[in-house]
Amino acid sequence: MAGVVDYLFVGRGASAALTARALEGAGLLAGRRVLFVDPDPKSCNDKTFCFWAEDTEPVVADLVDLIGHSWEKARGGREPMVSIAPMRYHQINSLDLYEDLSRRMAANGWELRAEAVESVGADDQGAYAVCGSEKVRARWVLDSRPPQRDLAQPDLAQSFYGWVVETDFPWQSDAGVTLMDLEVPQDGATQFVYMLPYAENRVLVELTRFGTEILEAELAEQRLRDYLGAALPDQATYRIVHREQGIIPMTEHRSERRSALSERHSALSERRSALSERHPLHGVVSIGTRNNALKPSTGYAFKTMHQQARDLASHLAAQAADNPTQADNPTQAAKPWNPPRQHPRYAFLDGLLLYILRRRPHQGKAIFEQLFAGTRLPSVLRFMDEKSTWQDDLRMLMHLPWKPFLVALWERHAGWPLRLLLLALLLMGLQALPSVYTVVANLGLLLGMVMLGLPHGAVDHLLQSGRFQRLPTPTMVMVYIGLGLLMLWFWFLWPWWSLLFFVGYSAWHFGQADGRSWGMNRYLSLAWGLSVLAYITGTHPEETRNIVQAMTKRDPTWSLSVGFMAIWAIVGVYRRQSALVWTSLWLMIASQLPLMHAFGLYFIGQHSRTGWRDLRRGLQLSSPTLWRAALPFHTGAWLLLGMFYTFKDWLPPLDFGPEGSFFVFLACLSFPHVVTMHRFYIAQHPNRQRSESGESNQHEERRGGL
C-alpha cells in the first residue's frame, strides 16, 4: 500500500468501533485516510455487550441507537429481583456494533484489509503495522489486539457458554437480569448462571466459570439442561436458537501486578517499561482491553472502552487545536495521552478477590452469595463501576466472610519474606535458651538442606536434557563429578582466588534469582547478590575470619554495620517492592544469629525457595514430582559430602575446617548448577537478555500506548 494512512485501526472489534465513532464525532476523521486491518469478517453476533448506567450518562446518549434491550431490575445470589434505579442494565449485540462500523466505513470511504497484523511499532519515520511482508505506515496506529498473556502457568479466566432459548409459553413474567445464580454445581471452580430475558419466552441463559480450567462445552450443555429443567415447568420444551461462548482473562493490570509483586509478571512489566522509555512509540495508541479497559474481577469492559474512546478523541482534538503540525506528525514530541489508571483501592480489593478465585475457587460461591445478601444491588454495581466511597466499601466488606480475605492478604501481601522475618525473630529469641536454640537451629538447618537446599540444585538433568527425564545420564554424572573435581583441584592450588571466584559466581546466581522476582536488571541484581554475601559475612567478622583463614591460610578482616542493609530497604520503598523491604529487614535481624544459621536462612529460605519456585513453574511440575526427580542427584550429593568429610581427615590438603569444608564442597557442587540455571533463566525470558545487551534497535510494541 503506497503512502501513509492517517489512522490505522488494528482490529475491527468493539473498541475500534467505539473509537472510530468518537473520533468521527470530534471531526478528526473528516477528509482523512482511514484503514482497518482485521482478518475477521465480523459477520456474526459473536458477543453480547452489557453495562449499567444512568440515563444521563454519556454512554447511554452516545449509543442509544445501538442499545437492543434495557432492564430496570436485576438480582444476584439467592436474593429476589430488585430495582437498580436510577440505573438500568443495557445490552448491545456485537453484530449491531460491527454493522454500524461497516456503514460508517462505506459512507466515508474508509479502507479495509482482511489480514492479520503481526506486530506494531514505531521508528524515526513514525508508526507502522507489519501486515505479512509489508510495513504499513500511519500517522496514528490504534492497536486493539488482545494483550499477550504469560502462559507458563494456568491463569485465571472467566469462561462462559450460553444458549438463547425460546419457548411456546411465557415463563419470565418478572423480567429482570440475573447477574449471578450460584445454585449450580461448582465443579471445582466458581460457577453461576447469567440470564438476560429478551422477552417472556426468549432468554439468554449462560453458564459462567471463574477458574484456571476453561469451561468445556459438553459440561456446560449438561449444566444448562439441568438448570432449565429445574427452572421451566414440568415436561416443558424449549428451542436453542443461538449459541455463544468465550473466554475473558481475569489478569490484573500491569501496575497492579507490580504492586502485588507477582514475581514473574513484575519482571516482565519492568522490562517493558524500560524498553518503552528507550523507544517511545510516537503515534501508537493501545485501545480496548490492550489498554486495560477490562475490569479483571468482573469481566466488564464495554463502558470503560467507550469512556476511553471519548477521552482519546478529546485529547487528540485539543492537541490538533493547539498544534496542528504535531497532531499530524507523531514523530515530533507530542503531549502524551494518559488514560486514568485503576484507583489503588479498587486494585487492592480486586487483587485479593482474584487471588482467592485463583488459589481457592471453591470459596467464591460463599463470597458472592454473602455479597448480594448483605449489600444493596445498586451499591454493588457502583462498587463494580469504581464509583463507590470508601465508607460504602467498608460497609460492603463487613458483610463478606473475613477468613478468605485475611488469608489472601497474608499470603499475597505479607508473603514469604515476612514469614522469614518472624522466623528470624523466633530464632533470635531462642538464643536466650542456648541448648534449645542449638537443637532447633541445627535441626532446622539440616531439614532445610534435605528438603530444599540441595534438591533445588539437583534437577539440572531435567534442564539439560530438555525433557522430563527422571534419571540423569551417566555422561552427565561424569561431567558433574569431573567439574567438581576440577574445582577442588583449583582450591588446592589457588585457594584465595578460588574463594573470590566462588563468591563472584554465587553473588551472580543469588542476584539473578532474586532480581527476576523483583524486576531488577542484571546490574542491580548483581549488586544485590554481592550485598547479601558481603552483609552476611561482614556482620560476622570473627566467624568469617576463622573460616576464610582455614580455607585460604590468609587472615582477611572486614566488617559491615547491621544498618547497611537499610540501604536496600530504602531501595525497596522507592521501587514500591514490599518483598525487597521485608527481605532487607529480616536479613538485619538474622545478622544477630551465628554465621552458619544466618547464611542457611538466606540460602534455604530465600534463594533455594525462589529457585525451586522458578523450576516448578518452568518445568510445569508439582513439588512432589520435582522432588522425586531430584532424588538421584540429591542422594549422590549427600554421599559425596560424607566422602568429602571422611577423606579430609586423611589428606592434609583437604583440611579446610568444618565450616570451610562445607563451603568448599558447596563451591565444587554448585558451579555447574549456576551455569545450568543461567541458561534456564535465559530460555525462560530471552527478550530480557537481548534488551539488556543492547541488541534491540527497535521496539516492537505489544502493549504500550501513546
Q: What is the pLDDT of residues 377-409, one digit of tens each?
A: 999 999 999 999 989 999 999 999 999 999 988
Residue recorded with cell 527476576: 516
pLDDT digits (tens, 9 = 90+) for 413-456: 767 888 899 999 999 999 999 999 999 999 999 999 999 988 88
pLDDT score recorded for residue 102 = 96
Please, where are the H alpha helices in 243-337? 254-260, 263-278, 302-322, 324-328
CA 310 to chain centre: 29
pLDDT the model gives residue 174: 62
**pLDDT number for residue 67:** 95
CATH number for the domain whose boundaries are 5-69+89-150+264-336:
3.50.50.60
C-beta atoms surrounding 436 within 10 Å: 11
Q: Would you give the distance in Å from CA 160 to the centre of its chain?
A: 22
CB atoms within 10 A of CB 628: 14
Q: Return the pLDDT at 636.
A: 77
Q: Which residue has the cell 461448582?
A: 186
More confident residue, 105 or 155: 105
Q: Is the pLDDT of residue 699 over 50?
A: no
Mean predicted lDDT score pLDDT of the chain: 83
pLDDT confidence of residue 647: 65
Q: Which helix or strand (DSSP H or E) is residue 569 part of?
A: helix 566-574
Average pLDDT value for residue range 535-559: 86
Q: What is the pLDDT of residues 458-509, one digit of tens each?
A: 887 777 554 444 445 677 667 777 877 788 788 888 888 888 998 898 999 9
Mean pLDDT, range 330-341, rounded to an integer: 56
**In this structure, which CATH number among 3.30.70, 3.30.160, 3.30.310, 2.40.10 belongs to the domain 157-249?**
3.30.70
CB under 8 Å to 484, separation ≥6 — which residues? Answer: 640, 668, 669, 671, 672
Q: What is the pTM of this model?
A: 0.68
Mean pLDDT (whole number) for 685-693: 45
pLDDT at 655 over 90: no
The pLDDT score that the predictor gives to residue 252 is: 73
The residue that leads in pLDDT, 552 or 700, is 552
Pairing assessment for the beta strands 34-37 and 111-113 based on DSSP bridges: parallel
Name the band, by pLDDT with cuts 50, 70 and 90, for residue 705.
Answer: very low
CA distance 599 to 506: 13
Structural domain boundaries in the chain = 5-69+89-150+264-336, 157-249, 408-430+475-685
Would the pLDDT of 704 be above 50? no
Q: Which of 282-286, 478-482, 623-627 bottoms out in mean pLDDT, i.e. has the lowest?
A: 478-482
Q: What local confidence, expressed as pLDDT, does residue 650 receive? A: 57
Per-residue pLDDT averaged across 9-31, rounded? 94
Q: For the segment 255-273, what is each residue's pLDDT rounded down to a tens digit?
A: 444 433 333 333 334 333 3
Q: Report residue 64's pLDDT band, with 50, 70 and 90 as the boundaries.
A: very high
561-583 pLDDT tens trace: 989 999 999 998 888 788 899 99
How confident is the model at residue 644, as a pLDDT? 65
Do 293 and 304 meet the contact criterion of CB atoms below 8 Å apart?
yes
Q: Does residue 690 have a pLDDT over 90?
A: no
Residue 705 CA: distances (Å) to CA of 66, 321, 414: 28, 21, 32
